[in-house]
Amino acid sequence: MIRVDVPGKLFVAGEYAVLEPGGAAVLVAVDRFLTVRATPHDSRRTVTSEHTGGRIVDFTGAPRPVVAAVAVVERLAMDAGRRRIGFELDIRSALDEADGRKYGLGSSGAVTVGVVRALGALYGFDLKAGEVVKLALLSVFSDDPHCSGGDVAASALTGWVAYRSPDRARVAEWWSDPRTSLGDLLSRPWPLLAVENLAAPRALELVIGWTGRPAKSRSLVAAVRAGISEAGFRRFREESDACVARLVAALDEGDDQGTAHAVAEVGLLVRALGELAGVVIETPELADLRVRAEALGGVAKSSGAGGGDCGIALLPAPEDVETLRRSWRAAGVVPLDLRVHTSDDRRKGDLR
Ligand code: PMV
Ligand code: MG
């Protein structure tokens, strides 16, 4: 039996801008996990998860990200001249609560990475992190050609991750060309794609709060796109990319002040984007979360698409973390007991 534990993710910076080819983002993996267990089977190919009501179903009846990830790994195997194998996949997620509460920690990205790694291992492939990212990206893009794939990069690399999204149209062309072997696609550079680990801030504390309100990224993205002109979005994207570049440089240099400053700036840009597009990205709870962090000398912002889910704060003084959590609770924001998760067996997988 193969078991893989995949961490959830949160956006630190670059949401929305990262949807454009070459758009940049910074994310973290957090220590809440989705677990995939893969066992070989003589004939059938099945999946069990909470989405199947705990029943064993043929994998084609599993949620779309699972079906897509199985298809990608099987194509890798077929292209390498392997025979198709049967499997039982057992998927358990702690990324959302059992009672259905959704935090927005990236369960579809995590399940994609989990199935790629577990089924890949069952086939005997020794996939490096960069290859897992590419396979998982092919899988998520085949299901939703408009998502950024940032969640996949964070869940696959773990820790603090810089991500630049590839030219998906070009990748889709390669992918749909029957002459392209998947092995080729993995070894060739993808236009604009960059994924690398970053150093964590030196002394800033990352604190995570949940608004209690689930948000649907796809609808928020559609509403933002519909509410803003091409030129407006392009300007936002340029400013966001510049901020993310300053954030990456500050993390590289161990400059906590620069890090906090860049996060505050990019938060401001996202709020302005929401206002311009007439979409509530910073909900009243997220505004509370931010203002209460700022009152303690920190910075804070919505994480990801906003409209609910989680916000993040960076605090300069560790002794203020409890004060912030108390202050959030008083405003109805639920502090989540999450830390950045960095895998021990992280193998070199940067793609530049
Ligand atoms: O809210 P989340 O964590 O699903 O993040 C969405 C981030 C977007 O940039 C808005 C969409 C994407 O696919 O990156
Ligand atoms: Mg979200």
Please write the tens of the pLDDT for every residue from 213-225.
999 999 999 999 9
Cα–ligand 1 centroid distance for 292 (angstroms) = 24
Q: Which helix (H) or strand (E) holds 334?
A: strand 334-336
* Segment 217-243 mean pLDDT: 97
Protein residues near ligand 2, an ion, with CB under 5 A = 104, 215, 304-305, 309
Q: Report the half-sphere exposure of 230 (CA within 13 A, side-chain side).
A: 0
Cα–ligand 2 centroid distance for 74 (angstroms) = 30
Residues 239 and 247: beta-carbon distance below 8 Å: no
Please say if the pLDDT value at position 136 is more than 80.
yes
* Segment 111-118 mean pLDDT: 98
pLDDT for residue 351: 53
Between 54 and 322, residue with greater pLDDT? 322
pLDDT for residue 346: 58
pLDDT for residue 154: 98
Residues 77 and 123: beta-carbon distance below 8 Å: yes
Pocket of ligand 1 contains residue 304 by CB under 6 Å: yes
Q: Predicted confidence band at 232 (pLDDT cuts at 50, 70, 90)?
A: very high
The Cα 121–Cα 118 span in angstroms is 5
Q: Predicted confidence band at 194 (pLDDT cuts at 50, 70, 90)?
A: very high
Q: What are the tokens at 108?
A: 């579809």
For residue 93, the cross-strand partners are: 34
Task: Determine which residue's CA is closest to atom 3 belonging to ligand 1.
Answer: 304
Task: Determine which residue's CA is closest to atom 2 belonging to ligand 1.
Answer: 304
What is the 3-class SS of 80-145, one letter each residue?
CCCCCCEEEEEEEECCCCCCCCCCCCCHHHHHHHHHHHHHHHHCCCCCCHHHHHHHHHHHHHHHCC
Ligand 1 atom index nearest CA of 224: 10
Q: Which ligand is nearest to the CA of 143?
A: 1
Between 303 and 106, residue with greater pLDDT? 303
Q: Predicted confidence band at 352 (pLDDT cuts at 50, 70, 90)?
A: very low
Q: What are the tokens at 336?
A: 């989540």
Question: Ligand 1, residues 9, 148, 273: which to mutate, most atoms within 8 A of Cβ?
Answer: 148
For 287, other C-beta atoms within 10 Å of its C-beta total: 15
Mean pLDDT is lowest, of 33-37, 74-78, 310-314, 344-348, for 344-348
Q: Predicted confidence band at 99 (pLDDT cuts at 50, 70, 90)?
A: confident
Pocket of ligand 1 contains residue 150 by CB under 6 Å: yes
Q: What are the tokens at 337?
A: 């007991």
Strands 86-93 and 45-48: parallel
Mean model confidence pLDDT for the chain: 95
The Cα 268–Cα 240 span in angstroms is 10
Q: Which helix (H) or strand (E) holds 249?
A: helix 230-253
Cα–ligand 2 centroid distance for 125 (angstroms) = 33
DSSP labels, 154-178? HHHH-SEEEEE---HHHHHHHHH-T
Dihedral angle, C-alpha 320, 324, 330, 332, nearest 10 °: -160
The Cα 232–Cα 114 span in angstroms is 37
* Segment 125-137 mean pLDDT: 96
Look at residues 321, 255, 305 and name the one whose alpha carbon lies nearest to residue 9. 305
Cα–ligand 1 centroid distance for 15 (angstroms) = 6
Please say if the pLDDT value at position 94 is more than 80.
yes
Pocket of ligand 1 contains residue 15 by CB under 6 Å: yes
The Cα 28–Cα 159 span in angstroms is 6
* Segment 240-266 mean pLDDT: 98
pLDDT for residue 327: 98
Task: Determine which residue's CA is closest to atom 14 belonging to ligand 1.
Answer: 148
Pocket of ligand 1 contains residue 148 by CB under 6 Å: yes
Burial of 94 (0-12, 13-18, 19+ CB in 10 A): middle
Dump pLDDT digits (tens) for 147-176: 999 999 999 999 999 999 999 999 999 988
Q: Predicted confidence band at 342 (pLDDT cuts at 50, 70, 90)?
A: very high
pLDDT for residue 348: 44
Cα–ligand 2 centroid distance for 281 (angstroms) = 10
pLDDT for residue 98: 67
* Segment 268-287 mean pLDDT: 98
Ligand 1 atom index nearest CA of 309: 1
